[in-house]
Amino acid sequence: MLKDYQVSEEDYILARYKTIFKKKGIQTIEDLLFDFPVKYDNFKVQSLKDAKLEETIILEGTIVSKIAINYLKSKLSTVVFQLEVEGTKIRCTVFNRIYLKGKLNYGSVIRVQGKFHQSMNQFTVNNLILVDEFSRDVIPTYRVKEIADEKYFEILLTAFRKYKNQIQETLPKAYLEKHQLLSLLETVRILHFSDQLDEIAQAKKRIQYEELLQYQVSMKYLHDMRQKETHCPAICYQEAVLAELRQKLSYELTPDQDKAIVDILKDLSAPYAMNRLLQGEVGSGKTIVAVMTLLATVSGGFQAALMCPTEILSKQHFATLQDLLQDFPQIQIGLLTGSTSQKERKEILQKLATHEIQIVVGTHALFQKDVVYDNLGTVIADEEHRFGVRQRVLIKNKGLDVNYLKMSATPIPRTLAISAYGDTDISVIKTMPKHRKAVVTKYVDQAHKKDVMVHIKQELSIGHQIYVVTPLIEESEVVDTANATEIYENMKRYFEGVATVGLIHGKLKPMEKEDVMQQFLDKEIQILVATSVIEVGVNVPNATTILILGAERFGVATLHQLRGRVMRSDSIPYCFFVTTDHPTEASVARLKMVEQTTDGFALAEYDLKHRGPGEFFGEKQSGAMHFKYASLRDNSDLLELANIDSEEMIQNGSLFVEPDYQKLYEVASNNYQRKQTQLD
């Protein structure tokens, strides 16, 4: 294997280059040959007769003048020379690259990429190469910038020629043929040395597919191993108890809710632990599905826990459960949060340990060291993306292999779902309940902002409450907080004597945020000014209007999520998008699209395509999906293929027995071992 050959032992690589490689993490020949270019520049020469003003073109010519350096301002300089192209002299200008003077000489043959402007002999150079250094049309750029391109290319060529016969295929022959993919040897050769963009595209496709396939196989392997680990007892739930609750509901469940419940009940009755994501927009009815899950668990003789990211949400779920299960006196429900008094906490812990409490609701306090369950069967995590591996570890550290249901109100595109939740079964609730009113959404320019203020006063006059979301200025919590504070002060002055105004921003401590939200929930605050940290999932039925300032700065998925804050109301809800002074045409078009579209999944697909996966989970949580070569945004078709292929090779068993699947099996098995270590 190429990993056995160390860069430090190669005599054709100078010592100073070896030091650079080591700093970049390139220690073996495999590291070197598989560190592919980050981009390719096309320097294929075009004819001068095809040139047009203000259009990019690539020309080849000879320098026929001295190289002049001009210092125009403190941070502005130019390199100027005459270039003879096809018998015509052109005045070339390169900005802010004085170092070129040492490389360019009278008589040098170069290729320049740039545009003519003003006239056909005034040429601004964006990029250039010396033809005697590179004779290729396509020039690769590597992440190691401390070694000159021609020297780096020479090292790679020597290493490839010496070790190319050691490059072993890592994909099964069946899938290479199925998708007409290049061999790994050809892929390495082309990505480093080819001069043909169409060849390079095929080689990129091979590498991107393999990266996505390795990830999907790893996820499917986790899923497969979970189903083989029968440490979680099957729950024999009582169908009559569930039917009794369904009869008591004042509404009919939607087909999506029914299907989700059927899937969950099937999971609970299986001899392995459930790991399911229940996703649906705000107001789609995830809560009743969760209640059915809790009731099924308890009816089978087990305890259940509902974990929430905040105390407010915990209290709301606790109240909902008490209301829905009031006709089931045999079921005791507990509430355990950070603010639970010591006396109450002691009593709750005792009752959990003796099974006197069957359902407990709370924050991550549910899994602190001193919390002992008698027979915990199911854990539901509401707003699951707010929790991380740590909470899963806390549950596992109880020595429990429990059924795990994650709930999220964030519409997740299919491409992202099969990647981020590849080891998870997914239930989606798309159909909204019939009684739910659609939000009236309006794009508002600065000229009509006063009309919104009139609307807000009207809503306040009939006792309704308002959200005001402040614009994101930049990726800076400090700046956003200052902006929120300024708008808060302005709103206080404008609505003085009319309404009490509150403020939430990212710099507040968690308990301070909860205190403000509680005041808003209790109607002590009528207008809540907030950055986009508005507590997800908190039910404020009296809030009927949300005003989003600087709306063009938010992604469409975020705008839709914010709009969902007022979907709890029985009155007609309103959402207003107000832009800054000079929004772009593209921004306005995007806002009008959200104005006309209520399908959160369609908007989520749009955001994935235009903004990437970080929009949904935050950059830190989307780290696992930051592929080196593939992109969820650009390679969704390859991801679909990888998803189908990984499922196939797990199901037919070829992953586990066939020799040419060995590399994929090693990747999946090693990933599984890492995950197990995390949870131990």
Give the tens place of pLDDT for each residue, 146-170: 998 889 999 999 999 999 999 999 9
CA torsion, ordered 73, 76, 82, 85, to nearest 10 deg: -150
For 520-544, the pLDDT digits (tens) are 989 999 999 988 656 555 778 899 9
Domains of the chain and any CATH numbers: 44-130 (2.40.50.1010), 239-429 (3.40.50.300), 440-597 (3.40.50.300)
Q: Is the pLDDT of residue 276 over 50?
A: yes
Q: Is the pLDDT of residue 613 over 80?
A: no
Give just the sign of the alpha carbon dihedral 387, 388, 390, 395.
Answer: positive
Cα–Cα distances (Å) from 677 to 276, 399, 647, 666, in that order, read: 21, 14, 25, 16
Q: How does DSSP classify residue 571?
A: S
Tell the residue number behind the tokens 């259940």, with chain if given.
304
Per-residue confidence (pLDDT) for residue 621, from 0 to 100: 39
Q: Is the pLDDT of residue 477 over 60?
A: no
For 397-424, the pLDDT digits (tens) are 565 678 999 998 877 777 677 766 777 8
Average pLDDT score over residue span 651-671? 93
Per-residue confidence (pLDDT) for residue 648, from 0 to 100: 95
Instruction: Enter the tokens of residue 108.
Output: 């040098």
Q: Is the pLDDT of residue 18 over 90?
A: yes
Q: Is the pLDDT of residue 625 over 70?
A: no
Q: How far apart are CA 472 and CA 453, in angstroms?
A: 21
Q: How far apart are CA 517 and CA 530, in angstroms?
A: 10
Catalogue the long-range contacts made by 321-326 (C-beta closer than 8 Å, 24 or more residues apart).
321/291, 321/294, 321/359, 321/361, 324/245, 324/248, 324/288, 324/291, 325/245, 325/291, 325/295, 325/359
Q: Which pTM was predicted?
A: 0.75
Q: What are phi and psi of 80, to 5 degrees?
A: -125, 140
Per-residue confidence (pLDDT) for residue 647, from 0 to 100: 92
| Residue among 162, 160, 135 at smallest CA distance from 149 | 135
Residue 115, C-beta contacts closer than 8 angstroms, at least 6 positions apart = 53, 54, 55, 56, 57, 123, 124, 126
CA torsion, ordered 262, 264, 270, 274, to nearest 10 deg: 160
| pLDDT confidence band for 107 (50 / 70 / 90) | very high
Q: Is the pLDDT of residue 550 over 90?
A: no
Q: How far apart are CA 246 and CA 265, in angstroms?
A: 15
Between 580 and 440, the more confident residue is 440
Cα–Cα distances (Å) from 6 to 15, 19, 39, 95, 443, in that order, read: 13, 13, 26, 41, 61
Average pLDDT score over residue span 5-14? 93
Average pLDDT score over residue span 263-285? 89
> Do residues 107 and 131 make contact, with C-beta atoms less than 8 angstroms apart?
no
Q: Is the pLDDT of residue 319 over 80?
A: yes
Give just the sign of the alpha carbon dihedral 222, 223, 227, 231.
Answer: positive
| Residue among 206, 221, 197, 378 at smallest CA distance from 292 | 378
Average pLDDT score over residue span 464-482? 70
Residue 641, C-beta contacts closer than 8 angstroms, at least 6 positions apart = 179, 209
Q: Is the pLDDT of residue 385 over 60?
A: no
Q: Which residues pair with 543 in a beta bridge?
A: 465
Instruction: Enter the tokens of residue 598.
Output: 């209520």
| Residue among 313, 474, 440, 453 at smallest CA distance from 386 | 313
Q: Is the pLDDT of residue 265 over 70?
A: yes
Residue 120, C-beta contacts closer than 8 angstroms, at least 6 positions apart = 51, 53
Per-residue confidence (pLDDT) for residue 383, from 0 to 100: 74
Indicate the range of 121-135, 281-295, 375-389, 538-552 predicted with least confidence. 375-389
Per-residue confidence (pLDDT) for residue 394, from 0 to 100: 63
Choose from 172-176, 231-235, 338-342, 414-418 the range with maximum mean pLDDT: 172-176
Q: Which residues pair with 405 in a beta bridge?
A: 276, 380
Instruction: Enter the tokens of residue 391.
Output: 């909470």
Q: How far apart are CA 332 and CA 355, in angstroms?
A: 9
End-to-end CA distance of the chain: 32
Q: How far apart are CA 169 and CA 91, in angstroms?
A: 51
Q: How far apart are CA 408 and CA 286, in angstroms?
A: 9
Longest dimension (CA), the chain: 96
Q: Is the pLDDT of residue 35 over 70?
A: yes
Per-residue confidence (pLDDT) for residue 590, from 0 to 100: 86
Q: Is the pLDDT of residue 396 over 50?
A: yes
Per-residue confidence (pLDDT) for residue 473, from 0 to 100: 56
Tell the residue number behind the tokens 């939607």, with chain if given.
254
Q: Is the pLDDT of residue 481 over 60?
A: no
Per-residue confidence (pLDDT) for residue 47, from 0 to 100: 95
Indicate the range of 239-243, 251-255, 475-479, 609-613 predicted with least confidence. 475-479
Per-residue confidence (pLDDT) for residue 511, from 0 to 100: 80
Q: How far apart are CA 353 and CA 345, in angstroms?
A: 12
Angle between helices 286-299 and 255-268 (to 10 degrees): 30
Q: How far apart are CA 638 and CA 419, in angstroms?
A: 12
Looking at the chain, how many residues does it have?
Answer: 680
Q: Which residues pair with 28 in a beta bridge?
A: 6
| pLDDT confidence band for 677 (50 / 70 / 90) | low
**244: burial class by Cβ within 10 Å (0-12, 13-18, 19+)?**
middle
| Residue among 384, 394, 364, 391 at smallest CA distance from 424 | 384
CB atoms within 10 A of CB 343: 8
Local structure of 110: helix, strand or coil? strand
Instruction: Enter the tokens of residue 272.
Output: 């392995």
Average pLDDT score over residue span 247-265? 93
Q: What are phi and psi of 50, to 5 degrees?
A: -90, -5
| pLDDT confidence band for 618 (50 / 70 / 90) | very low
Between 47 and 72, the more confident residue is 47
Q: How far apart are CA 181 and CA 186, in angstroms?
A: 10
Average pLDDT score over residue span 444-451? 85
Q: Determine what percent of the chain is predicted with pLDDT higher than 90.
A: 53
Pairing between β-strand 138-141 and β-strand 333-336 as defined by DSSP bridges = unpaired
**266: burial class by Cβ within 10 Å (0-12, 13-18, 19+)?**
exposed
Instruction: Enter the tokens of residue 517.
Output: 């939200």
| pLDDT confidence band for 624 (50 / 70 / 90) | very low
> Do residues 426 and 552 make contact, with C-beta atoms less than 8 angstroms apart?
no
Q: Is the pLDDT of residue 226 over 60?
A: yes
Q: Is the pLDDT of residue 291 over 60?
A: yes
Per-residue confidence (pLDDT) for residue 614, from 0 to 100: 55
For 324-369, the pLDDT digits (tens) are 999 998 999 999 988 888 999 999 999 999 999 999 999 888 888 8
Which string of DSSP letters, residue by residue, matches 438-459? Answer: PPEEEEE-GGGHHHHHHHHHHH
Q: How far apart are CA 39 and CA 37, in angstroms?
A: 5
> Do residues 202 and 180 make contact, with C-beta atoms less than 8 angstroms apart?
no
> Do residues 532 and 513 make contact, with C-beta atoms less than 8 angstroms apart?
no
Local structure of 300: helix, strand or coil? coil
Pairing between β-strand 39-42 and β-strand 138-141 as defined by DSSP bridges = antiparallel
CB atoms within 10 A of CB 417: 19
Tell the residue number behind the tokens 């003879």, with chain if given.
84
Q: Is the pLDDT of residue 2 over 50?
A: yes
| Mean pLDDT, the chain, whole residue set | 87
